[in-house]
Structure 1
Amino acid sequence: MPELTSLPATASQEDIAKIMDRDGAMILTGALDDGLFARIDAETQPLMDASAKGNDAFTGHNTTRTGALVSRSPACREAVMNSTVLEAANNFLLPYCDRIQLHLTQLIRLLPGQGKQPLHRDRLAWGGYLPDIEPQFNTIWALTDFTEENGATQVVPGSHKWDEKRQAEPEEVCQAVMPRGSVLLYTGSVIHSGGENKSQAPRVGMNITYCLGWLRTEENQYLSCPPEVAKTLAPELQELLGYTMGSYALGYFSPPQPNPDIPDTVPPELALGRLPREAPTAKKLMENSSAEIGSFVPLEAQ
């Protein structure tokens, strides 16, 4: 039976990268401090209590899933922006894009009696259309202890390098057993699934994932965190949500109210009432225009 490698959250990026390349998954222990933990618990428990159970075997008939965490929980935003995880995600994905973006935020609560989820690769969200590159870097934060009994995530180490048609044998599957406060890192190509909760208490994980900046995301961040909310956030988090150009000519918008002084291809930051941090041409454009930034904010966000 294989085992996942566990390192402290203070591990070097070099060590994290080596293990991720070799196994496609690993655990960082002690990733959440007690103060942030308490805030996440306080802010997310009411959200989970108001969440419905899944309606199919994949989402889980005895599982609740709660999204829009950036919009709903200031504490969860800090986990999204965790410097160690974010640096590891950038190191992993930037060979294939100009910038990364937030793909998904979701609390996954396995209730007692929930069976095993089918084994799968998350990259199949994009079908089989990206055979030669890795599109995704994922995390599951343990908000409760993850044990064999309560459904710790099943993982097949090394499967990110397998042929896509190869199926995992039972002896190739292990579980991400880890204490509360740890985080499981895994690639979009590694085979995994939720485990079976045979305990009498919920198992709660916070699934935060990142992907290449030129792909469509699983969670639509512009609806989950619309401009009226996003404009209150730090620029770095706004950009991770997608409120910036993914690369040249990727992600501009046309203001609902045309302005003869400004091209109809403006950067998303203007919808939040600010200029791009790295766009001297846009800054020059604004300096030469009599228009004000506020005129680009959509009517519903004003």
Structure 2
Amino acid sequence: MNSARSPRAVDVIHTLDDLRVDLARRHPATANTSLRVIDPAVVAADLAAVERDGYIIWENLLTAEECERLRVAIAPLLGRTGRNTFEGQRTRRAYNLLEKTRACDGVVEHPRVLALLDKLFLPNYLLSQLQAIEIHPGERAQMLHHDDGFYPLPRPRPPLSAATMWAIDPFTESNGGTVVLPGSHQWGSGRGPEEADTRLAVRMPAGSCAFYLGTLWHGGGANRSAGSRLGVTAQYCEPWLRPQEAYTLATSRETVRTVSEDIRRMLGYSIHPPFMGAVDGMHPKRLLDRAEPAAATAPRAVSPPQDGAAERPV
């Protein structure tokens, strides 16, 4: 009997289709469990609403206690205001939250969100950005934009990314609730927000979530109230795109070992077939089996920038 190893089917590559399958041996792709906990009829209805309007609002996904835990964890991380007009001169933000707190894990991998993302994007889609945004009184309306506008592909087209905005405080028309332009996800490249038929300020109670496509025109609203409003946004993109935040650099391996398999995959510890995301020809999860070099440390914490100052890089 020949003792030589017989090649598996994926070892023999004949066509381009052979390169579109999972070739991993030790670390094959793992299935998202969200579709097993969310009624398929609910997912189908969510998808239909998003395809029609470009967004959907889910009310009261978080309890008051969960919102308060998020607020307590995020408050010390928020920087000072004044970076630029797009990010808001009266808006405080905190970036790279997964490295700084475990409080946001639940919103990043909420089953309702992942079940919809599974219908929109290819497997192994990535977390593109996770940040907290606190809009203070007197802030002007943000410039309207669509989140995947920096990917230079003409519209109309399928979305390359999607975002969630979680209301830690109630969102109202007067306190900076996100402004959306329904149906604008279907616009071509030559159409701008000045041609919108309808503008809506998202109104939702604390604990709610707005999900919108990366092709939807939107922006933070003006805060004409006497109080601030805090939100957390998690954004996701197709697995073959570069995310906004470089999580494989910004997130320590200690943190990656701590988070769930779903989040680990979204941080880039995954392979988009046939080998996009590989490290030295290997699956990136193999890095987690090794001890980190002595010189490797978690990202250096920085003090929040002073008013008007640019934030120093982590």
Instruction: State the TM-score bracket (shorter-chain normalisation).
Output: 0.7 to 0.9
Preserved contact between residue 124 and residue 265 of structure 2 (Cα < 8 Å) = no
- Corresponding residue SS for 1:31: coil
Q: Which amino acid aligns with 1:138?
A: A
- Using the TM superposition, give the Cα deviation of residue 59 of structure 1 relative to its aligned residue in structure 2, in angstroms: 1.1
Q: 1:90 to 1:130 in 2, by over 3 A?
A: farther
Match of 2:13 in 1: none
Q: 2:276 aligns with which of 250, 267, 271?
A: 250
Q: Which amino acid aligns with 1:74?
A: R
Matches of 2:155 and 2:99, distance apart in 1: 30
TM-score normalised over the length of structure 2: 0.77
Match of 1:269 in 2: 285
* Higher RCO by CA contacts (8 Å cutoff, separation 6 or greater): 2
Matches of 2:293 and 2:150, distance apart in 1: 30
Preserved contact between residue 252 and residue 267 of structure 1 (Cα < 8 Å) = yes
Deviates most, 152-161 or 241-250: 241-250
Percentage identity across paired residues of the two chains: 30
Matches of 1:298 and 1:210, distance apart in 2: 30
Match of 1:43 in 2: 73
Matches of 1:298 and 1:23, distance apart in 2: 49
Preserved contact between residue 125 and residue 218 of structure 1 (Cα < 8 Å) = no
Matches of 2:124 and 2:219, distance apart in 1: 28
Matches of 1:104 and 1:153, distance apart in 2: 17
Per-residue CA deviation, residues 87-138 of structure 1 (Å, 9 max, x unaligned), is 11121113xxx42111110111111110011111111132346863310111
Q: Which amino acid aligns with 1:164?
A: S
Q: Which amino acid aligns with 2:180?
A: V
Match of 1:132 in 2: 157
1:144 corresponds to 2:207? no
Preserved contact between residue 54 and residue 65 of structure 1 (Cα < 8 Å) = no
Preserved contact between residue 99 and residue 247 of structure 1 (Cα < 8 Å) = no
Preserved contact between residue 155 and residue 187 of structure 2 (Cα < 8 Å) = no
Matches of 1:80 and 1:298, distance apart in 2: 29
- Using the TM superposition, give the Cα deviation of residue 234 of structure 1 relative to its aligned residue in structure 2, in angstroms: 2.3
Preserved contact between residue 135 and residue 188 of structure 1 (Cα < 8 Å) = yes
Preserved contact between residue 82 and residue 91 of structure 2 (Cα < 8 Å) = yes
Per-residue CA deviation, residues 154-211 of structure 1 (Å, 9 max, x unaligned), is 0000000111221234652111111111100100001000000011111111110111
Q: 1:271 to 1:299 in 2, by over 3 A?
A: farther
1:167 corresponds to 2:192? yes
Cα RMSD for the two superposed structures: 2.0
- Using the TM superposition, give the Cα deviation of residue 299 of structure 1 relative to its aligned residue in structure 2, in angstroms: 4.9
Q: How does 1:233-244 map to 2 (within 5 A)?
A: 233-244=259-270
Preserved contact between residue 69 and residue 77 of structure 1 (Cα < 8 Å) = no
Number of matched residues?
A: 258
Matches of 2:141 and 2:152, distance apart in 1: 23
Matches of 2:196 and 2:262, distance apart in 1: 42
Answer 1 or 2: which has greater helix percent.
Answer: 1
- Name stretches of at least 5 consecutive residues in structure 1 with no aligned partner: 1-8, 255-264, 274-293
- Name stretches of at least 5 consecutive residues in structure 2 with no aligned partner: 1-37, 298-314
1:93 corresponds to 2:109? no
